[in-house]
Amino acid sequence: MIDADIDTSIELPPQCPHKVKGQIWINRKDFIPFNNSACFIEYMKTYWNSSTSKMENIPGANIYYPNFPSTKGIFALAPDNQKLLQSKTKVFAAMIHYLKAAGWKDGVDLVSPGYDWRYADRSNNKWIEKTTQLIQQLVDNNGHKVIIVTHSFGGLAVLDLINSMSKKFCDQYIDKIITLNAPFIGSTKTLRTFLTGEDLGLKLDPLLLRPLARSWESDYQLMPNQKYWKNDNIVQIGNKKYSSNNINAIIDLVEEVKEFGNIIYNSSINRFPLEYVPNNVTLHCLYSHGIETIVGIKYDSLDHDFQDVSYVYGDGDGVVDLQSLEWCKLSGFAKVVKDLGKGEHGTVISNTE
């Protein structure tokens, strides 16, 4: 979940309040995204600051993970008073129940340093600094090194985190990292989100939500990494084919992001090494697959705003291509690699076996 504390004077759609406080992701009852999608988009978009060469919140907005470092914020995405929605958005609920039953205690030796996943720059909101301090505190209080468990984009976040640390710190405080279905070198589906649109699981018009994807750094970091991706034809428009070496050209197809799109992409995919695990931290890589997954995108032309689309499918977890999930098989990368067999990207977290 993500909370917002907004007090802004910028121009907004007339129906959108300039002062907002409370849960913004996800909250059906109060205001967003279901009751007023336009406001939700205005609040959640990030904007290019050409002076700092960074994406930023709207002026006067503080958007943050509210429960740091409690697991409450990842147990379910919806508020406690929205039981139906909460029942459908239980993210790490099964895993948290399992760990608590095994004796782990929330806030003592079981924590969740949640973050604003819109950004690829994890120094945003001082997340790296706070998480580093938290790890040290946990080890000092409990007397044993930490085990970091991540899902999906969290795998990239933790690689960024340990890359910011010294080897001495990692050796002293981190036992291992366990990644679940990490998109190590990106996902073709992210290009679909960027070009055509995606409802983000919110049952809303993909075109309405597309501006979010085009503004969030995380979407650029999750595009196929052109340094490592193996695909001769990832996007095709008419007879013109774009390989994974042409991601910059694909981004430039979208006029509204030409000022910043490739700056963000090039920066995001180079934040940490992917040929090895930073500081030689032990990594256990678990992933599922066997689900039809987008591995190629085809458009008839550029005349229909990327809506005349068809897809090429291959193996993956429904979100991440198999080649990205299996990147951890790279020699010297993961100490343990476990293929969990058939399973979808989101449901793999609920498997406590």
Domains of the chain, CATH where assigned: 1-67 (no CATH), 113-350 (3.40.50)
Please state the rounded mean pLDDT for residues 23-27: 72
Please state the rounded mean pLDDT for residues 332-344: 97
Q: What is the pLDDT at residue 33?
A: 47
pLDDT tens across 192-202, in order?
Answer: 999 999 987 77
Q: What is the pLDDT at residue 65?
A: 87
| Per-residue pLDDT at 34 exceeds 60 | no
Residue 191: name the closest of 324, 69, 9, 29 by CA. Answer: 324
184 or 13, higher pLDDT:
184
Q: What is the mean pLDDT of the chain?
A: 91
Distances (CA, A) of 192 to 34, 56, 95, 138, 308: 23, 24, 30, 40, 12
Q: What is the pLDDT at residue 94?
A: 87
The residues that bridge with 293 in the sheet, in sequence order, are: 314
pLDDT tens across 57-74, in order?
Answer: 999 999 988 889 999 888
Q: Which amino acid is at 15?
A: Q
CA 33 to mean position of chain CA atoms:
19
21/28 Cα distance (integer angstroms): 14
Q: Is the pTM of this model over 0.85?
A: yes
| Per-residue pLDDT at 128 exceeds 90 | yes
Q: What is the pLDDT at residue 81?
A: 66
| Per-residue pLDDT at 157 exceeds 90 | yes
| Per-residue pLDDT at 152 exceeds 90 | yes
264/269 Cα distance (integer angstroms): 9
SS3 283: strand
Q: What is the pLDDT at residue 58?
A: 92
Please state the rounded mean pLDDT for residues 14-23: 86
* C-beta of residue 107 within 8 angstroms of C-beta of residue 136: no
Q: State the CB neighbour count (10 A cutoff) for residue 342.
A: 10
Q: Which amino acid is at 33?
A: P
Place of tokens 């993956």: 316
167/190 Cα distance (integer angstroms): 33
| Per-residue pLDDT at 32 exceeds 50 | no
| Per-residue pLDDT at 31 exceeds 70 | no
Q: What is the pLDDT at residue 139?
A: 98
Please state the rounded mean pLDDT for residues 335-346: 96
